[in-house]
Every structure is written in C-alpha cells, then in structure tokens.
C-alpha cells in the first residue's frame, strides 16, 4: 500500500483541510500517517510557510518529497490551496510533476565547551542576545574580509532570499543558482565603524566564518528559520552549504519568477 504522511498546524482551516485530504486519499487507496514510516513516499504540509519549515524540522530534513497546501498568508513554498486538492491528486497519480532540490544551510557554533550544528532552509541570522550593536570579524574561506558592526548578519540560501533576506534589503536569487548570500542588518558606516551596506553573493562551496570581536559579546543569538538558539562563550561560527537537501514537489507548470511576481509584486 502507498503511504502518505501529513503534517498540519492547529488552525481551524488547516484541520478541516486535513480531514478532507485524508478522506480523499483513502478513497483513492492511499494509507495515511502523521509520522514518517519506512515506506512513506510523500509528505504533505498543511499551513503557511512557517508550518512548512516546522514540518522540515520536525521530520529532521527528510529525504522524501514534500508538497505544501497553503492555509496561511503568503504561502511561497506552497504548491496548492485547499480547493486544489482534487487537481493535485490527479497530477500526483499521473506523475505530472517534478522534484525541485532545495539547498539548505549548515551553521556550526563553536563554544569553549562544545560544537553544535544547526540546519536551516531559508537563513541563519547572527545577532547580539541583547538589543545592541554586535561586532564581528567576517572571514570567507579563512580570509578576513571585514570587521562588521551593526544589528547582525544574515546568511540565506537562494530559496530563502525571498524571506527575511528580502525584507532586509537583500536580493532575490533564482534557486537555479547555487549560491549563498550574506546580508548586513542595519550596518554602521561612520568614521568609527566601516561596514559594507549591501549584500554579498558567494559561491555555494565557500565557507563563512564569524568571530566575536569583543569578550563581552560572546553570548550570541542564532536564529535559524525563525527558531532562536542562545549560546554562551562562543569562539566562532562557521556557515556553509549543507549536505542536506529538501525535495519540493512542484507541478509541471511551476516557474520561480512567475511565483515571485505573484507573491511580491
């Protein structure tokens, strides 16, 4: 039997959509689960973009295709709305779709006591735990490029370029490009502090290192896809392309720039 795993948020619209979806799937002979099984062939996330990112995290960045049904607001990751379930099931059964490989980020935090790795789909943000300026030394492939002062640094994937990165003034990047984007958050550019004021686009195989410049700044907040992690006694942080990928199921007529224009312009 073919098995599909469903993950939903707790909104009334999402729960109702989930109930309708389960009934339609069972009528077509599919088995349905709320957890990943050995034979799960597809994951369906119901909610908004936040729910999609939570699904990825809850299932530990699964190597299984995911499709999202939008019951939230923007729905940039979503491939269909609740009223498109019948059409989607027909498309899925007839294999009229393709799989989009999504680059993820790997952020490793090195403290005096341990090293911790955090994966993310959209971005990783490094900022001070308190509401004050952070001072970081930035290296690319171990070569220092700048001493940065400002609210923080954001590193995004191409798919994440349309999220927080876009709001912070970064560029929208086509996911067909395998790159990383480093965007400053409220950079200081004065006679005392000189920081770059626009985003930097780097090849995907480059490694970015961030080192706190001052001892009193060794408590830093890492925000990965909106989830906060606090670390003390940080010595340095390394960010690079992850070996993990997300497999997004897309309808054959999907095109990135059409979606970007629809959602942002």
* CATH number of domain containing 194: 2.60.200.30
Residues 232 and 146 in one domain: yes
For the chain, the C-alpha Rg in angstroms (whole number) is 20
162 located within any domain: yes
260 located within any domain: no
Residues 88 and 188 in one domain: no
What secondary structure letter does DSSP report for 171? Answer: P
E-only strand ranges, 141-185: 143-150, 152-156, 179-185
59 located within any domain: yes
Residues 140 and 86 in one domain: no
User: 258 — phi, psi (to 5°)?
Assistant: -65, -40
Burial call 98-118: b when 16+ CB within 10 Å, e when fewer: eebebbbbbbebbbeeeeeeb
Q: How many domains does the chain have?
A: 2
- What's residue 217's pLDDT? 62
Please check the confidence at residue 193 and state whether its pLDDT lies above 80. no
Domain of residue 15 covers 3-95
Q: Which residues are catalytic?
A: 49
**Cα-Cα-Cα-Cα dihedral sign, residues 58, 63, 69, 75:** positive
Question: Where does a domain end: 45, 68, 95?
Answer: 95
251 located within any domain: no
262 located within any domain: no
Of 113, 162, 191, 138, the residue nearest 264 (C-alpha): 162
- What's residue 218's pLDDT? 67
- What's residue 196's pLDDT? 86
23 located within any domain: yes
Tell me the average pLDDT of the chain: 93
Question: How many H-runs (helices) and E-runs (strands) does the chain carry?
Answer: 5, 16
- What's residue 75's pLDDT? 85
Residues 155 and 64 in one domain: no
| CATH label of the domain that carries residue 36 | 3.40.50.10330
How do residues 100-153 score in pLDDT, each as one tens digit? Answer: 999 999 999 999 999 999 999 999 999 988 878 899 999 999 999 999 999 999
Please check the confidence at residue 216 and state whether its pLDDT lies above 70. no
250 located within any domain: no
């Amino acid at each position: 039997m073919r098995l599909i795993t469903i993950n939903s948020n707790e909104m009334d619209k999402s729960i109702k959509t989930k109930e309708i979806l389960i009934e339609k799937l069972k009528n077509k002979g599919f088995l349905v689960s709320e957890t990943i099984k050995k034979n799960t062939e597809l994951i369906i996330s119901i909610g908004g973009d936040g729910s999609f990112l939570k699904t990825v995290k809850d299932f530990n960045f699964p190597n299984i295709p995911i499709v999202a049904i939008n019951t939230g607001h923007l729905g940039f990751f979503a491939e269909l709305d609740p009223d498109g379930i019948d059409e989607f099931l027909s498309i899925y059964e007839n294999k009229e779709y393709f799989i989009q490989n999504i680059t993820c980020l790997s952020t490793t935090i090195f403290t005096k006591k341990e090293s911790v790795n955090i994966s993310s789909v959209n971005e990783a943000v490094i900022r001070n735990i308190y509401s004050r300026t952070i001072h970081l030394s930035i290296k690319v492939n171990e070569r220092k490029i700048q001493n940065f002062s400002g609210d923080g640094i954001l590193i995004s994937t191409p798919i994440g370029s349309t999220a927080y990165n876009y709001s912070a003034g970064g560029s929208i990047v086509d996911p067909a490009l395998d790159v990383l984007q480093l965007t400053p958050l409220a950079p200081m550019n004065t006679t005392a502090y000189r920081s770059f004021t626009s985003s930097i686009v780097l090849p995907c195989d480059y490694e970015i290192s961030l080192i706190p410049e001052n001892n009193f700044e060794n408590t830093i907040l890492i925000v990965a896809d909106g989830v906060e992690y606090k670390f003390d006694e940080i010595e340095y942080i390394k960010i690079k392309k992850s070996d993990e990928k997300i497999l997004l199921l897309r309808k054959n007529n999907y095109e990135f720039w059409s979606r970007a224009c629809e959602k942002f312009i």
